[in-house]
Amino acid sequence: MRKKVDIINIKMIIKKVIAKRVKDSRGEATIQIIVQTSDGKFKTSAPSGKSVGKYEAKPYARDLNSDISIINNLNAKKINSLIIKKFEDLTKLEKVVKNKIGANSLFALEASLLKALACENEKELWQFLEGKTKKLPRPICNIIGGGVHSRGIKGKKPDFQEFLFISNAKTIEGCIKVNKIAHRFAYKLLRSQKKNDEGAWETNRSNEEVLEIMNVIKKKIKKKFNENLVIGIDAAASSFFKKTYNYKNPKRELSENKQIEAIKGLIKGYNLYYVEDPLNEDDFAGFKELNKEKCFIVGDDLTVTNPKRLKKAIKMKAINGVIVKPNQIGSLLKVKEVIALAKKAGIKTIMSHRSGETEDDTIADLGVGFGCDFIKTGIYGLVRESKLKRLVKIEKGLKR
C-alpha cells in the first residue's frame, strides 16, 4: 500500500486543457475550462456582470473566441513542466498566460487546475485552499431588485440594484430556509410576477417603499418564526451617477454631498446593516465619510477585487466590508491577497456571484476555503441555489 505522503508527492499529470463557450443565466456566452488529468475532468465556468466596475480587469484579452483558441492551444506538456503542486505555484502558470487571456479565462483556468490538484491530494477544493475553516460564510440574499438588473414594471423600478436580507440562523440550511420564506413573503406583498436577472422580485416601487416592505417582512418573520433578519442594499450607485446622482423613481438629482446625507438618512431610518456601493466608484473620500456610520459600508465597484484599490480604501478608512468577485481580477493569487489584506485591516469579506451566472458552484468552495465572512449568491433559481447547495454539503461534511 502506498503511504499518504507518497500520494501527495506524486506530480499531477495534465492530459488536456479544453476551453469552450457555454451560456449563462442571461443567455449570454461565457467561457468554460476543463482540465483533464488521470483522475478525471475538472471544470469551471466564469460568470459575467452587468453593473461592471470601470476598474475591473477585462473578461477576455481580445474576445471570448480568441481566449478560447489560446487556451485550447496551451500545451499540456508545457503546463506539466511547470510542476504545479501547491496554490502558490499558480504564479508559474500566470507567467505563461500573462496578458494573453482575460480575467474570466484566467479565473476558470486556475479554478479547474486547483480542483484537479485538490483531487490529487484527496481533498475538496475548500480544504486544499486552507482547510482550517471553523465558520462558514453567511449567505446574503437578494429579495427585491431594481437598477440595471431589472427591466421594471411599466417603465418604473427602484433605483437601487439589490434589497438584501441576512439571516442569523445558526446553520447555512437555517439561513436558506428563512431567506426562502422572506422571498415568498416579498412575492405576496408585492404581488409581482416578474423576477429579475438574479431571481429577485421586480417592482415599480421606489427605494424607500421597498425598504418599508423589507421592514414588514422582517417583522412578520420575527413574529411568526422567531427568526432574525437584518436589511442590506447594493445601491450600485455608479450605474446612476454622472457628475450627480440621477434618480428616476422618483425623479431627483443629488450632488455628491447630498447623496452622502441621503444614504446616512436611509441607514438610520431603516436600520440598515449592510450598504454596498452607496457612492460612485471614484469617491473614496465620500465612502470614508459614510464609514463613520454604524453599518457595513461595502466596496464592490470601488475596490473591484484589486489589491491596489483595496490598499487605498484601507489607507483612507473608506470601507469596513469588501466584495470579492474572482472574475473581477482573474488571478486567484490576487483574490487570496485581497482577502488577506482585508482580514489584516479588520474588513469583512463577502465572496460574491455575478448577475450572469451558471450552475458552477466554485465560489462556495472559495468562500469557505479563504474563510470569508459572507457569501452573496441570491436565493431563487438553479444558478443561485447551486452555490447554496454546495455550502450545505460542506456544512454537512459531504464530498462533492
177 in catalytic set: no
For the CB of residue 376, give the shortest distance to ligand 2PG in the complex, in Å.
6
Q: Is residue 50 close enough to count as binding ligand 2PG by CB under 6 A?
A: yes
Angle in degrees, CA 16, 22, 24, rounded to 5: 140
Provide the mask over 107-146, with x wherever binding to ligand 2PG is found by CB under 6 A and - wherever it is not: ----------------------------------------
In this chain, which of 46, 117, 236, 372 binds ligand 2PG, going by CB under 6 A? Answer: 236
How far, in Å, CA of 60 to CA of 102, rounded? 4
Nearer to ligand 2PG, 87 or 274 (CB): 274
249 binds, among ligand 2PG, Mg ion, none (CB under 5 to 8 A by kind): none
The CB-of-198 to ligand 2PG minimum distance in angstroms stands at 6
Closest CA to 334 of 309, 301, 360, 355: 309
- Name the region of 62 (left: φ>0; alpha: ψ -120 to 50; beta: rest): alpha
Determine whether 273 is exposed, middle or buried from the number of CB atoms within 10 Å of its CB (0-12, 13-18, 19+): middle
Position 159 contacts Mg ion (CB under 5 A): no
**Applying CB under 5 A, which part among 92-100, 129-137, 226-234, 370-378 lies near Mg ion?**
226-234
Question: Is 365 a binder of Mg ion (CB under 5 A)?
Answer: no
Please identify which of the residues 198, 289, 357, 385 carries the catalytic annotation: 198
Site for Mg ion in 227-246 (CB under 5 A): 234
Phi, psi of 110 (to 5 degrees): -65, -40
Q: Which residues of 95-127 are buried (b: 16+ CB within 10 A; e: fewer)?
A: eebeeebbbbbbbbbbbbbbbbbbbbbebbbbb
How many residues sit in the footprint of ligand 2PG (CB under 6 A)?
Answer: 13
Select the residue interacting with ligand 2PG from 300, 365, 373, 385 (CB under 6 A).
300
Name the one range near ligand 2PG by CB under 6 A: 45-53, 90-98, 208-216, 219-227: 45-53
Q: Does 55 bind ligand 2PG (CB under 6 A)?
A: no
Interface region with ligand 2PG, contact rule CB under 6 A, candidates 49-57, 73-81, 86-94, 207-215 = 49-57
Helix spans in 36-159 (H):
64-72, 76-81, 90-97, 103-120, 125-129
Alpha-carbon dihedral angle through residues 109, 113, 114, 116, given to the nearest 10 degrees:
140
**What residues line the site for Mg ion (CB under 5 A)?**
234, 276, 300
**What residues line the site for ligand 2PG (CB under 6 A)?**
49-52, 161-162, 198, 234, 236, 300, 352, 354-355
